[in-house]
């Protein structure tokens, strides 16, 4: 027989999967960083989660996933060492924030985004990936310190500093770099 805590955890995971998976959609979007490009992904498709451990902290309104977390949905895969989901529960669950840390990678087909940390603030509808951000689409690459996607405005930016502050030792002096293939004519 399922305990109340088990039922609550199941409800939290279900709500998160249905409403909070947009972080993965936006991070694997176009190299043009157009947040509207996520619309083609089937966010209602079944979602699979694989983690070494899931802990529900009801008193703190959060669920943590750890031990090499893998989330897949309709050809899209997100991997990180840890994911933390913060929510409020006032009769219905409201996911506030999803934070993925520890080698975050997002893959869809030939597209890949990677960074140290990814945060999806659902109330503000802003996705931020920071620390060694690298976007790849086929042979094209874009590197920076931080990627910010505003889902309300559709504006996406990449800058060279992980938190918008001073550049880190050994960094490319806070610069955004990229390599893009040029179509060859006959």
- CATH number at 93 reads 2.60.450.10
- Considering its fold, how many domains does the chain have in total? 1
Domain containing residue 75 = 4-179
Query: Does residue 111 lie in a domain region?
Result: yes
d(CA 40, CA 56): 32
Query: Does residue 185 lie in a domain region?
Result: no
Closest CA to 111 of 133, 140, 150: 140
| pLDDT at 17 (0 to 100) | 45
Residue 127 sits at φ, ψ, to 5 deg, of -110, 130
pTM: 0.72
d(CA 147, CA 143): 9
Does position 161 have pLDDT exceeding 90, yes or no? Answer: no
Query: Does residue 149 lie in a domain region?
Result: yes
Query: Does residue 186 lie in a domain region?
Result: no
Kindly tell me the burial class for residue 115, based on how many C-beta atoms sit within 10 Å of its own C-beta (0-12, 13-18, 19 or more): buried
Taking the CA atoms of the chain, what radius of gyration do you get in angstroms? 17
Beta carbons within 8 Å of 96's beta carbon, 6+ residues apart: 86, 87, 88, 121, 122, 123
HSE value, Cβ hemisphere, 13 Å, CA-based, for 62:
11
| pLDDT at 137 (0 to 100) | 84
Could you report the per-residue pLDDT of 94-143, keeping only the tens digit for each?
878 889 999 998 887 888 889 999 888 878 888 889 999 998 888 888 89
How many other CB atoms are found less than 10 A from the CB of residue 101? 18
Query: Does residue 82 lie in a domain region?
Result: yes
| pLDDT at 12 (0 to 100) | 53
């Amino acid at each position: 027989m399922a305990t109340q805590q088990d039922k609550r955890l199941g409800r939290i995971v279900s709500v998160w999967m249905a409403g909070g998976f947009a972080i993965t959609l936006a991070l694997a979007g176009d190299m043009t960083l157009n947040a509207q490009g996520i619309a083609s992904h089937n966010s209602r498709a079944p979602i699979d989660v694989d983690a070494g451990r899931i802990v529900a902290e009801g008193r703190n309104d959060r669920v943590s996933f750890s031990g090499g977390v893998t989330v897949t949905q309709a050809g899209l895969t997100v991997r990180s060492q840890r994911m933390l989901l913060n929510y409020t529960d006032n009769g219905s669950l409201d996911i506030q924030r999803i934070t993925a840390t520890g080698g975050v990678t997002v893959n869809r087909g030939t597209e890949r985004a990677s960074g140290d940390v990814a945060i999806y603030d659902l109330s503000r509808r802003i996705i931020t990936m920071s620390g060694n951000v690298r976007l790849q689409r086929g042979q094209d690459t874009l590197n920076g310190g931080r990627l910010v996607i505003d889902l309300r405005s559709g504006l996406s930016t990449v800058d060279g500093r992980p938190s918008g502050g001073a550049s880190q030792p050994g960094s490319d002096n806070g610069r955004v770099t990229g390599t893009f293939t040029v179509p060859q004519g006959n």
